[in-house]
Structure 1
């Protein structure tokens, strides 16, 4: 199962099946899932806290596996949230990228952070 051959729907079905086999849907409220996303994202960030770029470049296989597993947890909870809220992830993503392109035109923001231009927020 790789990115190039796995559909979002396949992932959504797998997350649903996993939760269903454990009777966990009862706990999958939007509030609980949002909190779980934030908690898992914090666990992912923990691997990078106080590290320099060259340290990240030199993560060993065990550390990379830990990071991969934390990212998978974030993705799984995001998918569970989408399932619970009946959100089509691809449609939501396309819509948000369209808005981002409008908000941050490449000709204005190439090579700079979006928040570097205080005039944008005016």
Structure 2
């Protein structure tokens, strides 16, 4: 029996499309512009971590968690919008990439090592 439940990605993409259409923003939502906007959001995320020590980053300050959640959401929403505009099923792409990463990074070769697959 096929699962007919709507994917959270598809639901969010539909809501994003409606949001943009209601504001006449579709004219601006081409892949290039969306990637540029995504880059800005990643910069805002990086700014939250910029001067934290590794220990502080691992135990992110509670008073900044809402800002962190907003930046992560902005990034996810832009990724979903870019995927939609480029006709990429992001959920399927993530599933395939996980399989590929498992092949490229076998546990017995990369365990405890922070190197690229071609250096294993």
Q: TM-score with structure 1 length normalisation?
A: 0.83
1:6 deviates by 6.7
* Equivalent residue, structure 1, for 2:79: 78
* Equivalent residue, structure 1, for 2:119: 119
Count of residue correspondences: 114
Q: Write the distance in 1 (CA, Å) between the matches of 2:100 and 2:21.
A: 35
Q: Which sits farther off after the overlay, 17-26 or 52-61?
A: 52-61
Runs (4+) of structure 1 exceeding 6 A deviation are none
* Equivalent residue, structure 2, for 1:24: 25
Given the superposition, is the C-alpha separation of residues 60 and 6 from structure 1 closer, same or farther in structure 2, using an over 3 Å criterion? farther
After superposition, the C-alpha distances for 1:8-47 in whole angstroms (9 at most, x for unaligned) are 1111111111111111111111111111111101100100
Q: Write the distance in 1 (CA, Å) between the matches of 2:55 and 2:119.
A: 34
Unmatched tracts of structure 1, length 5 or more: none
Please, what is the CA RMSD of the aligned residues?
2.0
Q: Which sits farther off after the overlay, 93-102 or 6-15?
A: 6-15
Q: TM-score with structure 2 length normalisation?
A: 0.84
Unmatched tracts of structure 2, length 5 or more: 1-5
